[in-house]
Every structure is written in C-alpha cells, then in structure tokens.
A and B are shown apart, each in its own frame.
Chain A
Amino acid sequence: MNWDFIWKYLPMYGEAALLTVKIGLAGIGIAIPVGFFCAVIQYFKVALLRRIVSVYIEISRNTPLLIQLFFIYYALPKIGIPTNPSVCGVAGLAFLGGSYMAEAFRSGLEAVETVQMESALSLGLKRGQALLYVILPQAVSVSVPAFVANIIFLLKETSVFSAVSLMDLMFTAKDLIGQYYKTTESLFMLVVFYMIILLPVSILGSVLERRVRRAGFGS
C-alpha cells in the first residue's frame, strides 16, 4: 500500500465524495416528495392519476438506474431537452428513488387500519385533515425503516453516475487506476469514502427507528 499516493489524492476523493453527496441529496430530496405524492394518490385511489403513477412505478422499479441515466443523458437532448451530467444524475436518482419512496410510504399508509380513517371522518374531519393529523403520523412511523433503507440504497446507486461522466467517487477511482495502475490504493480509498458517507446515515437511521418505536406507536 502506497500511503504517499493515498495522501496525495485524498483531496481529490474528498471533492468527488462531496459531489456524490450533493447529487445524492438533491436526487433523494426530490424523490421523497415525488414518492409521497405517488403514495397518497394510490392511497386515495385517485382516478387516472393512479394509473399513471402505477405505470411510472413499474417502469422505474423494473429498469436499472444505469439504463435510466443513459436514457436521460442521450435520449432527452434528441427531443430538445438539454441535459448535463449533474442534472442527469439528479434526475435519474429522483426517477428511481421516487418509486421506491412511493412504495415505502404506501406500505406505511396501508399499515394504518381503515377504522382510523373512518373514526377520523365520523368525528367530522375532512379527508385531508384526517390524512394529515391521523393517518400520516402513524404511516410515517411505520415507513421509517423502509425509508432509511431506501436512502442508503439510493446513495449506493450513485456509483453508476460515472457512466454519464459525472466526476464522482467511482469516476475518480477508475480515473486513478487508469492513469497510475494503483488499483489497491484507489479502490481502498473508494471503499473508505463510501463508508464515510453511508455509515453515519445507517447509524442515524437506526437511532431514528428506535426513537419512533419508543414514541409508543402501533400498539
């Protein structure tokens, strides 16, 4: 192991990691509301929109992110929508993540018993109020584990971004291997940096799960 080499290229990895995190957060930041709205549309069985949502979810979940990225990167400009690597990365992650988040929220919503909605309605609350004050708080607590798992999954998926020439961690590692043949060092740093990004998320996630459970939900 050449520690001088590692030391020298550490800042480069740092920058790449920052880019990975930025694109990851932006993508996930969009995926969460997208998933939320899709889940609510399915929960309330909104006519037409519900069909569109389920088609989107099936396409998104049953195609690899790499293919989705290529599609966004190469196909969209052909129909007049310009893209660049960053936009492409964020859009791809949001497209993939939206469906996974939708499924996480939907399972949470469906876990809340129907009598909860009915008793809220029979108290005279409007459907929106019942959703906001009664169903969602319970649903969110149920979906937290799936939600955290999705965030980790999506952050890991960022490793395919290099395919659309985004200078992320994977791109940097491949670049260094190609230039200097320092395979061990480059991959070692790649692993370390992914751990640095993901480990705190995992730990935070399990703390969150425990807190939600301790709050006394789901008796």
Chain B
Amino acid sequence: MADELLTAEHLVKRFDDNTVLDDVSLSVKKGEVIVVVGPSGCGKSTLLRCLNALEPIQGGKITLDGEAVVYGSKNLAAIRQKIGMVFQSYDLFPHLSVLDNILLAPVKAQKRKKDEAAAEAMKLLERVGLADKAKSFPRQLSGGQKQRVAIVRALCMHPVMMLFDEVTAALDPEMVREVLDVMLNLAKQGMTMIIVTHEMQFAKAIADRVVFLENGEIIEDTDPNTFFEHPQTERAKQFLNIFSFERSKKDEKN
C-alpha cells in the first residue's frame, strides 16, 4: 500500500437531494494510468473535480501523497500545485499569450524565476510541437493546440499526477489524435494519470486500469483487457455495445 499516490475513500457527493457520487473508493498507484468511463451524468467529471477539491464533498476522505485534500483548507493551493488538471472546455486564459499562460502559476504560485520557468516552458512546448506558438494568443490557436498548451501549462508546475476531464470531447477528430498522442507520451514517461474519456480505443491503449462508473457508483474496476473483452456486469456490456454499434455504422458509410 506504500506506493499509493492518491486514495479516495467512501466519497459521497450530493448536489441538494441528488446524489452524484455514492460511496466511491479509488486508489491510484504511482505511475498508474486510470481511465474512467461511463454514461453521461454518471459522475465522472464530478469525481475528478472532487479529487482536487474544486467541489466540496459530503462524505469520505481524499489523500494525496499522505496529505488530506480538504475543500477550503489553507494548504489547498499547495496541494493543487501537485495535481495538474485539464478541462474539457478550453480553459486557457484568453488575455495572456501562450507563454504567459504557462508561466503564470510557476512564477506567481511557486515563486520560480521567470527565466528558468520560461526555459522549461519552451522545452515542453517544443515537445508538443508548439514552440512557434509561444507568443500567440489562445484565440489564434486551434482547439487541439489549445488543449496541448493546457497540458503543458499543467506540466510546468511539476505535478505528481494529472487529471484529464474529457479533454478531447470538444475537438474535431483530427485534433483529438494530436492531443491523445501527447497523453500517450506522458503515460510512457510514467506520469500518474486519471483520465475521463469517451474515446474507447484510446482508453484501451493507455489504461492500466479501467473504472466503470454508473449512477455515482463504481461497478467495475479492472484491467482494460478484462473490461473491454469480458466485462463482468450486464451494464458494462450494454455500455460497450453502444460503442461497437456506432463503429459498425461508420464502417458501412466509408
């Protein structure tokens, strides 16, 4: 149990009377890539948002690297620096250039030297193929480029783990690929990640573990092979059928 980076125990999240997460427990080992799948509204995004305390929880406990993650606590900013998060909608700051977007948190929150952080930012931008966009503003970028910058912005804080909340859901298919490739590379380098996605092929390729969430409960938590080839629950089978049906329809058209 020593190598567990993040644990969530018996999380309960309610919006008024609506229980979104119902006794969810999840633990992530260092270097592990967990993909969370499930139908819309099952609580996937809420789960991620609870993990870095963007949402208050009504029950349970979250621990990162031995420290409790508590909504509204004094050291929350410091804890969040360790968790990189990328959102579905483009969350770049529109009034700042790409480089300034990346440098804001390292310079203001971590009090790092601007030159040193900028050098690292440029190196990371180069790695995702966007070094020439450093001076551009977010509105001049495509959706896929924005998401890659958002990933770089999170990485520049040296997080111990990353959360991805349907980061390709708003993108054109071609741009999806370039973002997913960046994430695959991160996985290869050993980054600990929790990924919420609807890209099943990608999930199969990147996941060490797949968590299937429905109605706020984890009903399968297993390796990708078992999940995609031999799902244990009827509900997971139904869910996966939806995707294979969609795929065969596209095949016919082509």
Contact = CB atoms under 8 A, between A and B. Distances in A.
Give 6 closest A-B pairs by Cβ, nearest first.
A219-B139, A124-B81, A119-B91, A123-B105, A122-B85, A124-B109
Interface residues of A, number: 23
Contact of B139 (A123, A133, A138, A216): A216
B54 interface: yes
Contacts, number: 74
A183 interface: no
Contact of A123 (B89, B94, B137, B157): B157
Contact of B95 (A118, A124, A125, A138): A138
Interface in B53-93: 54, 77-78, 80-85, 87, 89, 91, 93
A122 B71 CA distance: 12
A129 B80 contact: no
A193 B91 CA distance: 48
Nearest to B81: A124
Contact of B89 (A115, A122, A133, A219): A115
A64 B179 CA distance: 57
Interface size class of B (residues with CB under 8 A): 20 to 34
Interface in A205-219: 215-219
B154 interface: yes
23 contacts: A113-B89, A115-B89, A118-B49, A118-B54, A118-B87, A119-B87, A120-B93, A121-B54, A121-B77, A122-B80, A122-B85, A123-B104, A123-B105, A124-B78, A124-B81, A124-B109, A124-B157, A138-B93, A215-B95, A216-B137, A217-B95, A218-B94, A219-B137
B52 A133 contact: no
Contact of B138 (A121, A215, A219): A219
A73 to B, nearest CB: 44
A138 to B, nearest CB: 6
Given A113-B89, A129-B109, 11 more contacts: A118-B54, A118-B87, A118-B91, A122-B83, A122-B85, A123-B157, A124-B80, A124-B109, A125-B77, A134-B93, A217-B94
